[in-house]
Structure 1
Amino acid sequence: MKRILITGGAGFLGSHLCDRFIKEGYHVIAMDNLITGDLRNIEHLFKLENFEFYHHDVSKFIHVPGELDYILHFASPASPIDYLKIPIQTLKVGSLGIHNCLGLARVKKARVLIASTSEVYGDPLVHPQTEDYWGNVNPVGPRGVYDEAKRFQEAMTMAYHTYHGVETRIVRIFNTYGPRMRLNDGRVLPAFIGQALRGEDLTIFGDGSQTRSFCYVDDLVEGIYRLLHSDYAQPVNIGNPNEITIADFAEEIIKLTGTDQKVIYKDLPKDDPKQRKPDITRAKEILKWEPKVDRAEGLKTTYAYFKEFSKERLYDEAKHREF
């Protein structure tokens, strides 16, 4: 049985990866310090013999006994609310964290796949974004702690690949959504749905003309799985190139939720990207991958999850008040 370590395993993407590799017959070791992760995302796996959980900060020395075949480094705050609140931890997990993972991979002779992001492109001057584009990032702006952590992470990974011969893979993840996202994480999709569920007006930052491209989590996981088992070491964009403006997306959410909220506009945050659309030519050619889940279908599933989650949270708060 192959053994895989997934850092950030209790997070949104990490927990879905745990599910996928359990399904594929792997022994999965999830590691998370739970700063942004949630044990509820993986509690269904605790009863399994081929699943382990380590409550540990990957920025500190990592020890995993026994053989290890693969490492997926997905530990990192990933939303503006998180990385603006804990900027030092964000930088550390992208520097010390990846250094620890790569060192462990070298010792264990394991293959490493790191979660990079479309944020390495910053506010892009090239559209759509190809892997050959170097980006337009402000290193000292508010988003720099996340953007530069990911860029450093890529550089460190390639250094270990080049100079130590470690088998490495780099996935650049574009906007992804699905069950287990947090309603309060500040990203546009959960923010819109959260406001709709609470009966609040939907808030658009900027004039709404900026664009995003939303990929359903199952499609992303499939792309990551294929990349891990490929022979390709250069970065690969994984995302859905179906681009939509934020204003049009807000209207989709209003229609989906059946609410009659208005849309209000506020100032665009500094360095917020105006355009975001992946060029997935490389993924198509090398991985034979492209997204399959239509946005309407994915949003329906995600909204159903958020509605149920909101009911559970209200129930938990009511029980707490009883005591």
Structure 2
Amino acid sequence: MNTFRQHSKTRSRAVLVAGGAGFLGSTLCERLIADGERVICLDNMQTGTTGNLAALAREPRFSLVEQDVCDPVPRSLEVDAVFNLACAASPPRYQADPVHTMMTCVMGTHHLLDHCAAHGARFVQASTSEVYGDPREHPQREDYWGHVNPIGPRACYDEGKRAAETLCFDYRRGKGGGGAVDVRVARIFNTYGPRMRPDDGRIVSNLICQALADQPLTIYGTGEQTRSFCYVDDMIEGLVRLMRVDPAPDGPVNLGNPGEFTILELAEMVLDLVETTSRVAHEPLPTDDPQRRRPDVSRAETHLGWRPTTPLSAGLPPTIDWFAGLVQHRRADRRAPVAEASALHGVA
């Protein structure tokens, strides 16, 4: 029986967040702590930082385990729920070590699902809109199977996440060897906000950092390709609702903002908001770069009562402020001070 809601009144639920030191993961950890949960962050620090967790350094209900999800999770970690956000999500990061990216998606998800089966824990998989590839259907619905190049430079991430979804639903059907797991899968569309890394390599961080540095804004191809941008707080709300809803949706759920913008429109918004001498510069389009991307979020509305509330015009200013603060303080490394970092280690 799933024990997510049937915990003892004398203790908080124990929630493991894999990839919890990253952009999305650290924001999720803070939300869960604010909601009264006990949080275990598991991260190998490939793209996460202890600086992202500084606000939780002295929180007694928070602990950090530095470990790669490609290794089995210690069985002693008793958990009621697991969020799997472990995997580099920006193309430069996941293409730098494509084999590790694929293993993180497949072996990491396998280990976490095994852990959930052993503890009767609920599981949320952070999948991605990249499972749709360069879509031939627009907007993208969850019943669309996608158009993915399985041997291209992006395949380690695209196909890795598709394989992870397969594992999730096999475990949900009780085919994992340890009993059925209560699985929920979120297909996350482009998300932005404070705590993105300046070297993230995704379009929002690239354009903002270039504008702040008075450098040319790099637009790949014509700039007419489209994306949909979801502010981080809206995304976290969607993930939390997906974990807590009963019963679980019977398939993946798109989480993203259905507002659709061309890359040129995004660049123009950044130029309007940043005092800069930058101008647009065009570069060749990367291999397998999707031309159109917009989620159909009707399933999220139906099952979760969720729809994003932050328009791009409202989410960009605090994101720009975040990057401007990094520039102002010249923070080459966002790791927390040693005294704070040491407080984060160990398992509660």
TM class by smaller structure:
over 0.9
- How far apart in 1 are the matches of 2:233 and 2:150? 32
Report Cα offsets for 1:25-73 as digits up to 9, x if no partner: 0000000000111110012102011000000011001115253110001
Verify: 1:276 aligned to 2:305, yes or no. Answer: no
Q: 1:6 aligns with which of 11, 17, 22?
A: 17
Q: 1:189 aligns with which of 204, 223, 233?
A: 204
Verify: 1:310 aligned to 2:321, yes or no. Answer: no
Matched with 1:111 is 122
Verify: 1:93 aligned to 2:104, yes or no. Answer: yes
* Alpha-carbon offset, residue 99 of structure 1: 0.5
Matched with 1:146 is 157
Q: Tell me the amino acid that sits aligned with residue 300 of structure 1.
A: P
- How far apart in 2 are the matches of 1:316 and 1:119? 29
Q: 1:172 aligns with which of 175, 184, 187?
A: 187
User: Would the aligned equivalents of 2:116 and 2:181 in 1 still touch at CA under 8 Å?
Assistant: yes
TM-score normalised by structure 2 residue count: 0.89
Residues 197 and 64 from structure 1, CA distance in 2 versus in 1: closer, same or farther, beyond 3 angstroms? Answer: farther
Which has a greater percent of helix? 1
Q: 1:156 aligns with which of 143, 146, 167?
A: 167
State how 1:225-244 maps to structure 2 within 5 Å.
225-230=240-245, 231=247, 232-244=249-261
Residue segments in structure 1 that go unaligned for 5+ positions in a row: 318-323
Matched with 1:299 is 316
- How far apart in 1 are the matches of 2:294 and 2:300? 14
Q: Tell me the amino acid that sits aligned with residue 245 of structure 1.
A: T
Report Cα offsets for 1:127-155 as digits up to 9, x if no partner: 00000000000010000000000000000
* Alpha-carbon offset, residue 262 of structure 1: 1.2
Report Cα offsets for 1:261-285 as digits up to 9, x if no partner: 1101111001000001000010111
Residues 220 and 142 from structure 1, CA distance in 2 versus in 1: closer, same or farther, beyond 3 angstroms? Answer: same
Residues 259 and 290 from structure 1, CA distance in 2 versus in 1: closer, same or farther, beyond 3 angstroms? Answer: same
- How far apart in 2 are the matches of 1:224 and 1:206? 33
Residue segments in structure 2 that go unaligned for 5+ positions in a row: 1-11, 335-348
- How far apart in 1 are the matches of 2:290 and 2:16? 32
More contact order relative to length (CA 8 Å, sep ≥ 6): 2
* Alpha-carbon offset, residue 313 of structure 1: 2.6
Report Cα offsets for 1:92-130 as digits up to 9, x if no partner: 110110000000000000001000000000000000000
- How far apart in 2 are the matches of 1:244 and 1:6? 31
* Alpha-carbon offset, residue 316 of structure 1: 7.3
Q: Tell me the amino acid that sits aligned with residue 205 of structure 1.
A: Y
Residues 106 and 205 from structure 1, CA distance in 2 versus in 1: closer, same or farther, beyond 3 angstroms? Answer: same
User: Would the aligned equivalents of 1:170 and 1:233 in 2 still touch at CA under 8 Å?
Assistant: no
Q: 1:123 aligns with which of 107, 115, 134?
A: 134
Q: Tell me the amino acid that sits aligned with residue 183 of structure 1.
A: P
Residues 109 and 314 from structure 1, CA distance in 2 versus in 1: closer, same or farther, beyond 3 angstroms? Answer: closer
Matched with 2:89 is 78
Matched with 1:321 is none
Report Cα offsets for 1:147-169 as digits up to 9, x if no partner: 00000000000000002311000
Matched with 1:320 is none
Residues 312 and 65 from structure 1, CA distance in 2 versus in 1: closer, same or farther, beyond 3 angstroms? Answer: farther
User: Would the aligned equivalents of 2:189 and 2:256 in 1 still touch at CA under 8 Å?
Assistant: yes
- How far apart in 1 are the matches of 2:76 and 2:264? 50
Q: Tell me the amino acid that sits aligned with residue 190 of structure 1.
A: S
Aligned length: 317
* Alpha-carbon offset, residue 191 of structure 1: 0.2
Q: 2:281 aligns with which of 264, 284, 290?
A: 264
* Alpha-carbon offset, residue 258 of structure 1: 2.3
Alignment identity in percent? 45
Report Cα offsets for 1:171-221 as digits up to 9, x if no partner: 000000000001111100000011011110101001011000000000000
- How far apart in 2 are the matches of 1:224 and 1:303? 24
User: Would the aligned equivalents of 2:212 and 2:275 in 1 still touch at CA under 8 Å?
Assistant: no
Verify: 1:62 aligned to 2:73, yes or no. Answer: yes
